[in-house]
Amino acid sequence: MDGRMRAVQCHRYAGFDQHGKPLPKPDPLSEVLSLDELPIPQCEAGHVLIDVHYTGVQFPDAFQAQGFYQERPPVPYIPAVDVSGVIREVGEGVTNFQAGDRAIAKLPIGGLAEIAKAPAESVWLAPQGIDLSACANLSRNYVSAYHSLKVVGEISAGGLVLVDGASGGVGMAAVELAKAMGAKVIAAVSSEEKTDFPRQAGADIVLCYGHDKASFRNFKAKANEAAADLGHPNGVDAVIDMVQGELFEAALVSTVRPLGKLVLVGFTAGQKPIRPGMLLIKQAAAVGSLWAEWAKLYPTQHRQNVQEILDFLAQGAVQPRVDRIFAFDDFLQAFELFEQNRGRGNTVVRIKAEVA
């Protein structure tokens, strides 16, 4: 490669002009993202370099490129944080990996590149026999979902979970992981054409919540009926909420059992004020779920959680899958899925095909 590599760069945030002022409507991501040639990063102490085979792209990556995500790296930056590939080089002090290992990594940023630098503590060996493409959204999808279920939602075998936004990447991962943990799952999606995705992921019951107050009321009644049918007449133990918006107050709070939890993961339908009186009457807790800061405070528990996810994959309790693969030259198509609210499941960009 002669010290150079190809990488995608975000040159400015699509929701802001060149002077940093908000735009009335975000520019298309095609105007701010480009595939460029850049120097290969240096392998520092405590890090590894990875020849990237697959990079995960999900809603937060598109949201970040618009400038609306909670983390805004200085521009220009290389988007995406989840990669899978083969270790190219290990830095000083790294003893648990070696060149040639198949690996999965969570990066601070910089995933859409032929070569990525990752802190060694955020790297894991890929399970044998599992295609690297199926591992390329580990943190965005599976770690987010597992943290929400296990750490925040305190779900265990025999519990009941309601997952909304269940056709998306985190939603489908939450369905799969909850089933692997021995829980039962009610999956909820916004339209009938999305119902097959969480059903294929193993949901016990799939419901549609629609887009208006009448459909929300109908969904609430069906969700409470489904909970009773699944042996939980007082409601679900936890809601894993990717949607928020009007759905939260109109339906979700009513589905939780007393002392249950509403785990806030995202807000694809926008943010609405949460009235504390509703939580008081229901005796429910609304808790935000962001795993990265927790992982810094509890690194041993975090690595154990990630290893449990990888064990589920290796054992077949979670079926490895990739829903959409785009060629590196077609990376924009992956971003446009989420820009146009058409994203679902495990979406990856193939940087380099894995040789069998």
Domains 4-136+322-350 and 141-292 share a fold: no
- What's the whole-number mean pLDDT along residues 294-317? 94
Which pLDDT belongs to residue 170? 92
- Amino acid 355: pLDDT: 67
Please check the confidence at residue 18 and state whether its pLDDT lies above 90.
no
**CA–CA dist 211, 157 (Å, integer):** 32
**CATH class as words, domain 141-292:** alpha beta
Distance CA 304, CA 319 (A): 20
Average pLDDT over residues 59-81: 93
Whole-number percent of the chain with pLDDT over 70: 99
Pick the CATH number of 4-136+322-350 from 3.40.50.620, 3.60.15.10, 3.40.50.2300, 3.90.180.10: 3.90.180.10
Q: What is the pLDDT of residue 49?
A: 98
pLDDT digits (tens, 9 = 90+) for 120-133: 999 999 999 899 99
Nearest to 201 by CA among 226, 171, 224: 171
Which sequence spans correspond to the domains of the chain?
Answer: 4-136+322-350, 141-292
Given a contact cutoff of 8 angstroms between Cβ atoms, the answer to whether 239 and 262 are in contact is: yes
* Residue 168 CB-half CA count within 13 A: 29
Q: Is the pLDDT of residue 87 over 60?
A: yes
Model pLDDT, residue 356: 59
pLDDT tens-digit readout, 148-187: 999 999 999 999 999 999 998 899 999 999 999 999 999 9
Q: Does the structure show a pLDDT above 80 at 340?
A: yes
